[in-house]
Amino acid sequence: MAGVDAKRAARQRSGERYFHTATLAAALIVLALLGGVAVSLVHGAWPALSHFRLGFLTREVWNPVTDQFGALAPIYGTLMTSLLAMLLAVPIGFGVAVFLTELCPGWLRRPVGTAIELLAAVPSIIFGIWGLFVLAPILQRHVQPWLIEHAGVLPGIGRLFQGPPFGIGVLTAGLVLAIMVLPFIAAVMRDVFETVPDVLKESGYALGATTWEVIWQVIVPYSRVGMVGGIMLGLGRALGETMAVTFVIGNAHRVSASLLAPGTTISASIANEFTEAVGDLYTSSLIALGVLLFLITFTVIALARFLLLRLDRRALSNV
Amino acid sequence: MSRRRVRKVGNAVALLLSAVATLIGLACLGAILWTLISRGVSGLSIALFTQMTPPPGSQGGLLNAIYGSVVMTVVGILIGAPVGILAGTYLAEYGSASRLSSIVRFVNDVLLSAPSIIVGLFVYEVLVLRMGHFSAIAGAVALAIIAIPVTVRTTEDMLRLVPQGMKDASTALGAYPWRTITSIAYPAARSGIVTGLLLAVARVSGETAPLLFTALNNQFWSKDLGAPMANLPVVIFQFALSPYKDWQQLAWSGALLITFAILVLSVIARLIVSALPGGKARR
């Protein structure tokens, strides 16, 4: 009898050892993934990086025939489309969050919140074909001609709105991106707003403040860090988004002053050209673009997560 | 205008704008769903589920693409889920306050938002180049890498919802931690963990970028995991950008299928979570 019990105890002990090791190994795999991504990308990009050196960052040329590659146009496109997306999505996302937390009647809160979250679940390729077949023609026919006629003649910013209305281009990509990141920004801001203690808001109201004054002078200052974190998280999405942009950007490797002109982004260049790339330097240059994207998005996302760290993790479980 | 009036008007304008912002968000969702339905429904037919993707200019279906998407999603989840669940278990139960855990948690959060095309490049570098050709298994691994962070996150959150008293009771009976976790914590957190898996499935099944240069595409029926395999997202990508009307119609029908499958999964996941005690009751 005693022998059986000892065996059982031994089995339990070794079970503990195996299980503990397995969970630890899995946790280490998560770490290794990030490290592996960094190492393998740099390895793949090395031929291009050592060949073009820093000039890779500053040259606009992208010519597979002569094997000359520079990342300026994709970098510019990535930053410009993301900037446009944030200019639109941040105020709208803020509005949605304000509506959901302060304005919305209780019975409407859940359905509207869920609808906004479902917008985040729609795959990015759907935004892409919608942008190409629905949004781009509307812009081309109605919005862009108006912009060219009225905004294109303004001094200074007029240059942004000149040229023919292609429909697809940097502006369209920025718009589609804005719609894509809107639910992320709105969801994080809502979660952050909900962490504001009721007592603070009630003190504001007790002093006679209007709803808007409470929002702007109590809720926003209290949740500033979290809001910036949410915005950065949205920015990280926008910078790395691939399919939605690939459809509507036009894939032209040049830096145009006009927002209406076709351009390209880092991710769109990779998606469009990677499988067709012949020659080691071409492939390697595309992977080098991937390294740049990795560096940019990693910095932005890490910063965002750092800012959001102090929030209750469960408050943000769906982003 | 008196100062009081200015404040009241300002308040009304600001609140009106926030309602307008919400309407804009809802209108975008509505517009996208409406486009999918109006363009996709006319292409829905039995042939969609029984025939292969056609050459340009002829009739066909999406059978091989649907099959490929299901296979790669399932294999991807089978690879990713154990890793994700075990890592989540480590974070919640073993190393909950350790320095390693906070690093893993942080890295996991970064991976959660990392661009999926980077994952595609990574798998291309480590698998496709080594094997010398595109393959379904490479696609599945790429999807697994995207599924892992989602699973880690939800598993940890759900295990933390299990009352400490239950775990303590098991420990008091002399159970080792692994016994407590597998016999007490996992069953108690089961529906939450399943929800996490559903969310992971929803997340990966629409992913296109990581499949472009891992699984690639295949116009024909293939069950070989070692060979390129058709899948809905890449087929939608190629067909939508093609000049052929038949192909574009198939792309819209495929887009409709995939979007509604994902939305249904997401809604089910949300329903399960909201039924959990201490879940998202606040919403």
Answer whether B76's CB lies under 8 Å from B147's CB.
yes
Task: Select from A23, A213, A287 the Cβ nearest to the Cβ of B87.
Answer: A23
pLDDT (tens place) for every residue of chain A, 319 residues total: 556 688 888 888 999 999 999 999 999 999 999 999 999 999 999 999 999 988 888 888 898 888 899 999 999 999 999 999 999 999 999 999 999 998 888 899 889 988 998 998 999 999 999 999 999 999 999 888 888 888 888 887 888 888 888 889 999 999 999 999 999 999 999 989 988 999 999 999 999 999 999 999 999 999 988 899 889 989 999 999 999 999 999 888 888 888 888 999 999 999 999 988 888 899 999 999 999 999 999 999 888 888 887 665 544 444 4
At A69, give phi and psi (nearest 5°): -135, 135
- Interchain CB distance below 8 Å, B90 and A23: yes
Task: Select from A33, A124, A179 the Cβ nearest to the Cβ of B28.
Answer: A179
- Interchain CB distance below 8 Å, A30 and B83: yes
At A168, give phi and psi (nearest 5°): -85, 155
For residue B157, list chain A residues with Cβ-Cβ distance below 8 A: 313-314, 317
- Interchain CB distance below 8 Å, A44 and B125: yes
Task: Select from B89, B90, B111 the Cβ nearest to the Cβ of A33.
Answer: B111
Chosen from B86, B113, B217, B267 to mutate, greatest number of chain A CBs within 10 A: B113
Classify residue B106 by burial, with Cβ atoms within 10 Å: 0-12, 13-18, 19+.
middle
Continuous segment of H or E residues that includes residue A62? strand A62-63
The 10 Å Cβ neighbour count of residue B150 is 23
Instruction: Please report the DSSP string for A126-157 in residue order.
Output: HHHHHIIIIIHHHIIIIIHHHIIIIITTSTTG
* pLDDT score recorded for residue A176: 95
Continuous segment of H or E residues that includes residue A178? helix A170-193
Residues 6+ apart with CB under 8 A from A65: none
- Interchain CB distance below 8 Å, A26 and B86: yes
Stretches in chain B below the pLDDT threshold 70: 1, 277-283
Sign of CA dihedral A251, A254, A255, A260: negative
- Interchain CB distance below 8 Å, B90 and A270: no
What ipTM was assigned to the predicted interfaces of this complex? 0.89
Using CA atoms, how far residue A211 sits from A101, A198, A201, B256, in Å, is 11, 13, 9, 41
Residues 6+ apart with CB under 8 A from B212: A271, A274, A275, B117, B120, B234, B237
* pLDDT score recorded for residue B280: 46
Distance from CA of A251 to the nearest CA of B (A): 13
d(CA A95, CA A34): 35
For residue B154, list chain A residues with Cβ-Cβ distance below 8 A: 317
Beta bridge partners of A69: A62
For residue A132, list chain B residues with Cβ-Cβ distance below 8 A: 240-241
d(CA B116, CA A113): 26
Distance from CA of A301 to the nearest CA of B (A): 6
The 10 Å Cβ neighbour count of residue A107 is 7
The B residues from 40 to 59 touching A (CB cutoff 8 Å) are none
Continuous segment of H or E residues that includes residue B259? helix B245-275
At A221, give phi and psi (nearest 5°): -60, -40
pLDDT per residue as tens digits for the range A67-101 = 899 999 999 999 999 999 999 999 999 999 999 99
The 10 Å Cβ neighbour count of residue A292 is 18
pLDDT per residue as tens digits for the range A303-312 = 888 888 766 5
In the chain, the amino acid numbered A238 is A
| SS3 of A78-102 | HHHHHHHHHHHHHHHHHHHHHHHHH
